[in-house]
Structure 1
């Protein structure tokens, strides 16, 4: 890497394009392009000063680039194999992000989860028996015993239609927990509530009525939703 290549990469890393950089520092685009193409040593000092001020470096750093630590790193990195160059790049990027307080979020990973059928957020479904279906899932998978798909909109906005949810097996639930329950032989995802009015399964979408838990209805709890 020579001075001019270093200069161009520094401009693009901080400003995106040479044209945008020229507009920001008030130096004509054609002038900067000429410096990059014909050489830093042939440029007027005032233009070099303006460019260096815009980049946050000194003219000495630019003129002495070939003897600088950046140049030496580049020379050594060029002789490394591809795997080792990637290590150098990753470390350099990490140092840059720490210096500039840049937070990088990990890329969501895609994995496959075993889905045991659907539970209704509305009218009722039957859980599948036997072999589960393997489904692609983007995101973190919590510790769970089984997964199901939500059908319907009665639990929006917490659970959306066709969302995969994860469940820990449990035949009991605490007040306010989201449960997977068999209610009159159909499987639902609902919020379990118990108060002075009794126990019931509640939908978050208020267009759906509560499902009373009493002697007139059969109820079994399969588990509690985990996040």
Structure 2
């Protein structure tokens, strides 16, 4: 709007867009600096969008929608009237979906889940900051214990640089401890593919598991037809952790080897 005075509606719209952007960012492992780097929008401009100081242009709304994998009107409600392509695609998909039997509908949902995971991997893919020096940024989601347990929250982000291009991954964590040596050393950054159900995990895989509020990197071994399991350290100085029915236990990811 330049130096023109904003209308009350536009002032309210800035608040709405700011709120939508911050909610979308909270659902990812990204930070505002990633929006700046990946979309080539000035850092000060990104900050103004998220704080509600300025209204994004239509072009930047489109870029932000692609970044978060949402519709443009999920960010800026003004775009709903002009987002006919999304509406048309949505109606086509729903019309065809309703004609399918139950088994085929489940296949559509499964396929959509695969596509969503792939999209999340692509969005979380690191990027080179200097092609000649081959340096990459990695957003590390805190630390996981290779010993006796450590808290892992989404508030512990740490941006680090690495020299080797990482694989495609959903999130990265830093190892704390020596219980998984020689495979994983203390301080090592490891890359993880997120899982949404423990049934996705196979016995003898290396996993990131949350147990009673603490996060571990361990080898998981199932027994008794998957009715019980243990978390195993590679360093024999550490005892296995046996999971009981009273434990609050969840596998959140599989380590990429």
How high is the TM-score relative to the length of structure 2? 0.44
The structure having more radius of gyration, on CA atoms, is 1
How high is the TM-score relative to the length of structure 1? 0.50
